Amino acid sequence: MASLEYLLTLLPSLPNNLGDKVSIEEAYRLIKFEDDAHLDYLVDVLSAEDEIIKCGLQYFVLKNKSYIPELPQSLPSNFQEVFLSFNTKTESEWMTAIYAAWLDMLTKTSRQLGSSILAKWAKWEYSLRINLMIYRLKTAGIEYDESELIPEFLRYDNEYNTDYIVEAYKKCSEPMKAEKTIDQYRLDFIRSLAISYSFSADELIAYMLELRIFARYARLDLEKGRKILQEVTAI
């Protein structure tokens, strides 16, 4: 991967607050303009989550049975296979499977790029999602087998404790406030991974992970946001 100093100085500044305007499309355009295969693939892998959210909204919430996924062909076939199983699974089954597949894909991409940040974030993120899901299952009185909730890529290598975030989540009375609380913890974790002004792949990846969180709020209207938040937090 070429020197990233010039690219990182061109990218849109990250906003100060969740909900502030930010252009993820402009950032992606500038990254793609670098004409670097590794950067192109990184964008494809991260933006696959957009299609996961779109599928959840279109197929499961809006019951749009004519929905057709638009996935970059560069994505691994095993990920695409899991994604395309959405019309053969329940919503919760598919959401659990597809996020495990996406985060597993991020850990492998991390190794390909020679940067540990994506793998660290993916493991932290899924640890958080598992803990949130266990809390919701317990609250609903639903029995579960914890061993079945943990994907293979995390089963023997989970160094992160996210219980304190679930405790903060439980204290929130409003769904949007709860999600913003979780996302602030996400931002804090991402910022702990990279050194600012290092102009490294780690700094670019951290920027992109942060940007995706900010952009999700900037693009939502309130009603659609409620529906998508249900999908994002379904696993």
| pLDDT band at 229; cut points 50, 70, 90 | low
pLDDT of residue 211: 95
pLDDT tens track for 170-216: 999 898 899 999 999 999 999 999 877 777 889 999 999 999 999 98
Q: Which of 37, 200, 30 is nearest to 112 (CA)?
A: 37
Domain ranges of the chain: 5-232
What pLDDT sits at residue 200?
Answer: 84
Share of the chain above pLDDT 70, in %: 86
Residue 91: which pLDDT band, with cuts at 50, 70 and 90? very high
Q: Is the pLDDT of residue 105 over 50?
A: yes
Comparing 61-65, 112-116, 166-170, the range with the smallest average pLDDT is 112-116
Cα 157 from Cα 167, distance rounded (Å): 23
Contact, 48 vs 102, CB < 8 A? yes
22 with 218: CB under 8 angstroms? yes
Q: Quote the radius of gyration of the chain (alpha carbons, Å).
A: 17
pLDDT value of position 233: 55
